[in-house]
Chains A and B, each alone.
Chain A
């Protein structure tokens, strides 16, 4: 790939930085400061194609947990000198600030999807990034459904495929690292978790992880949080 692609800006891997504009920009990380808002707008201006990669950039990441809490309280608890910390009260996805052309989901992303994306851009093919549920991958691999056979709550039926369905292959439920599938039904899935013995609070927390601030998971986690309050 190194022959076909010129890497212009990747400070973690290369010292040399080439000036824009760029054909393709891959953006990692969520937007959490005023400076980043301005920076992402400049990145957008310099980029032909803007691709967000990873749960942070596509949905705000795990740090978006603070979106349901008091960020000031967090900084006071975590940092010795909180007065030096300048941050927005929400961690938000890149797409909240600039138009995004393509997303690679996941925490972490799939290397295979990244290679396929770059290959597809080079050749002019549609990247084969599925938008359907993780269950498709379990079934193609022959992995036995952990939810049906073992009663383990699994976010796979609401989560976008692409990771290779790793967790169920190791007898774990899916954690939703790839965020919501194209047509998730978290309400019905969560109701099933409760029927299997989980509490509404458990369900709320299950949806509120790496992609908790994505629209579908966020709505579900807030609804189940409400359900958890005794009336």
Chain B
């Protein structure tokens, strides 16, 4: 074990097997480790315990509407990009009981859970997803009202980030300026080199956790290799998106004929919104026993692609797919800026890969812009 604690902002080198020591230290500190693992022919985020649980030697090949795992010819530990899950599954779960009510003699009482919120260590968070988490922070904790469930999970989470050196086929973080390098929002950030990890210390907590891990200071050669790998990654993005004048472009084209063109292909199935790491819309449902003695408010993920979402007394405001897709893209790339000061898209490419019919927002936007035809 190394005696001293590495400096905040400093870079150290740890061997690949030493990552297990970090996992152990996190578990000892009370964290549940959530990280990438192979399941159902994809790399998902799930509970992991051992280094061998992560997809060592696996890669993912992604294109609009398709995702395939393949064996790599090396033993890269993070030689893949993002899959169908995102961290919002853990920070803002798909279904969450907000509180319960119980009928009393003179009305009702409210019962909130006393269970301590989970303490997650997120393993392998990519740069785009760090930005996505920061975007959801603006929704749930940086606005006028704080969402306590999200806040508790978020504050207790440990983030082990990973810089991307091999972008995927639907990635466009370079366009969105969200990656491939993790710039903030992590406790530790790894860059995978051939035989070791370069590890950047992003917080005092990160430094503290590293004290249980064998490390050595990074050499100039390793630093330059990591820099070079990320510079190369910037040039190998699978997709690109022109962000120039985005809000104006969309606000000015609400009646563009291309929306109807998308509607012919779009299934209105909500997959894009469900896989999107920033989409946060929800429904709040009432559940109860048969007589309403006890009831609960349950929040579930919802989508602007679902008709019920736009229900008002007398009808649905967006009965057609044309309006729903327009609503989604205009929110992501225009009104999000008005609401949160940032774009709602981080360039992770999930909505492109996981659209069952492969609708690609970068192409749809280009068509709206009048650049290139489908």
Contact = CB atoms under 8 A, between A and B. Distances in A.
Touching chains A and B, CB distance < 8 Å: yes
Interface of A: 1, 4, 118-119, 122-123, 125, 128, 130-133, 135-136, 139-151, 154, 156-158, 171, 181-185, 188-189, 191-192
Contacts of B267: 133, 157-158, 184-185, 188-189
Given A131-B306, A132-B303, A142-B44, 12 more contacts: A122-B290, A132-B307, A133-B267, A135-B269, A136-B303, A145-B356, A147-B65, A148-B353, A149-B40, A157-B267, A183-B307, A188-B357
Contacts of A147: 65, 356
A133 B291 contact: no
B306 A188 contact: no
Interface string B281-311: 0000111111110000000110101111000
Q: Contact residue range for chain B?
A: 35 or more
B41 A150 contact: yes
A140 to B, nearest CB: 4
Contact of A139 (B69, B274, B358): B274
B266 A144 contact: no
Contacts of B306: 130-133, 136, 182
B319 A183 contact: yes
Nearest to A134: B269
B307 A182 contact: yes
Contacts of A130: 306, 308
Q: Which 8 A-B pairs have CB atoms at the shortest separation, nearest pair first?
A: A139-B274, A157-B269, A140-B94, A144-B40, A132-B306, A133-B269, A157-B267, A144-B42
28 contacts: A119-B290, A122-B290, A123-B292, A131-B307, A132-B303, A135-B356, A136-B270, A139-B271, A140-B274, A141-B94, A142-B94, A144-B40, A144-B83, A145-B271, A147-B65, A148-B67, A148-B356, A149-B40, A150-B41, A151-B66, A154-B356, A157-B269, A157-B357, A171-B40, A182-B307, A185-B264, A188-B267, A192-B358
Nearest to B319: A183
A129 to B, nearest CB: 10
Contacts, number: 135
Contacts of A156: 269
Contacts of A171: 40
A143 B83 CA distance: 12
B85 to A, nearest CB: 6
A1 B65 contact: no
Nearest to A116: B287
A125 B286 contact: yes
A119 B287 CA distance: 9
Nearest to A126: B286
A144 B266 CA distance: 20
Contacts of B265: 185, 188
Contacts of B358: 192
Contacts of A154: 356
Counting chain A CB atoms within 10 Å of each CB, the highest count among B89, B355, B357 belongs to B357
B321 interface: yes
B70 interface: no
Contact of B68 (A128, A143, A149, A184): A149
B248 to A, nearest CB: 30
Interface string B65-94: 111110000000000000111000100001
Contact of A140 (B44, B66, B300): B300
Nearest to B85: A142
Nearest to B275: A139
Interface string B9-43: 00000000000000000000000000000011110
